[in-house]
Amino acid sequence: MVSPTSMKAAAITGYGGRENLVTLDLPAPTPGAGEVLVRVAYAALNRADVFIRQGLTGPGVRQPRALPHVLGVDGAGVVVELGEGVAGVNVGDRVAVFPALSCGYCRHCRRGEQSRCSDYGLLGEDEWGLQRELIALPAASVLKIPDNVSLADAAAVPGAYTTAWTMLVTKGRLRAGERMLVVGASGGVSVAAMQIAAYSGAEVWATTRTAEKAERLTALPFVHRVFVTPGPGWSEEIRHATGGEGVDVVVDAVGAPTWRDSIESLAQGGRMLICGATGGDRPDISIREIYQKNRQIIGGPFGGWNDFREVYDFLASSGVRPVIDRILPLDQVGEAHRVLEEQEHIGKLLLRCAQTEDLIDEPTTTHAPHPHLEMT
Ligand SMILES: [Zn+2]
């Protein structure tokens, strides 16, 4: 096979509005020693894409060093070339990309807990990401996808589903029979958390700001009850709905606007699980609300290799599939950002990166504007 010399990539050429998003022709990467070259079939978007484009910085969202910058934390594709000395991966393997960057040597990395490494970063944030046709990366960063999982489904998993898995299963120790409330429940991580929790036997409640979103969430088989919460003060309704007791677990990825109600919705000893702060990171709360009621706040960005691998095993054995809101061609990355910014979506937004038909591998029923869903 003749190696490709160029590739299409979605990139930002400046910081600010959506006019900074372009599709570029860039030189194709070549795999170095220990690396594999992957043809990316699909890449997914995350809210972090919007924050990076807007030039926001802070822990977890560092400014990329140079422009243009290729976005994209999530992706899946097919291995097309091996660098020197690669074993255990073959040309033709269908793979998902583990997006964490880390030192590889510290005790956290050795335990498969990469997001605890002091050098932790993510593809798409700290280095060029996956919204492109080709990527060369260490063979140790790819995971073979189970045969019964499509490339599109596999691409929707890394950021959202690994993060949700880490929060709920690895750290949050969610148990069957517990009642879990997801705040602002339409983004990728929130939807992933609800699916995993419902499958695990938890009762899943959700809040959302509009009646229209509530209707769409109610239609999802893994959401048991939806509350429309246009403004603050909704914890009263949650407490009332639980006979004054509160819920066992709250998942809040919104941050400042919802933290107070989230904490006040928790039962004695309840756990709040956090992985993001899309609405701001400086909540106005009383810490007495935490210690006086034996509550816990458990945080973590993303997860490690072990969590990542377990999520694909979970999909393969459970039949649960990611909720994909819609799949757009790579050159419509601007439209994808619009949908994210206007919060029109439920679940994941994907870009079809492959420019040829041979890598199209997506669920047969589609979606927009309603989510695709496959639960068995
Ligand atoms: Zn490390």
Ramachandran angles phi, psi of 200, nearest 5°:
-80, 0
> What is the per-residue pLDDT for 366?
41
Q: How close is the Cα of 354 to the center of ligand 1, in Å?
A: 33
128 contacts: CB under 8 Å, gap ≥ 6: 9, 69, 70, 135
> What is the per-residue pLDDT for 301?
83
Residue pointed to by tokens 């969610």: 174
**What residues flank ion ligand 1 with Cβ within 5 A?**
102-103, 106, 109, 117
> What is the per-residue pLDDT for 227?
97
Q: How close is the Cα of 148 to the center of ligand 1, in Å?
A: 32
Q: How close is the Cα of 120 to the center of ligand 1, in Å?
A: 7
Residue 189 identity (one-letter amino acid):
V
Q: In the chain, which stretches have pLDDT less than 70?
A: 1-2, 57-65, 364-376
> What is the per-residue pLDDT for 3?
73
Whole-model pTM: value is: 0.92
Domain at 161-299, CATH class: alpha beta
C-beta of residue 280 within 8 angstroms of C-beta of residue 256? yes
Domain with CATH 3.90.180.10 in the chain: 6-157+322-359, 161-299
37 contacts: CB under 8 Å, gap ≥ 6: 29, 30, 31, 79, 80, 81, 82, 83, 134, 135, 136
Q: How close is the Cα of 110 to the center of ligand 1, in Å?
A: 7
| Fold classified for 6-157+322-359 | Quinone Oxidoreductase; Chain A, domain 1 (3.90.180)
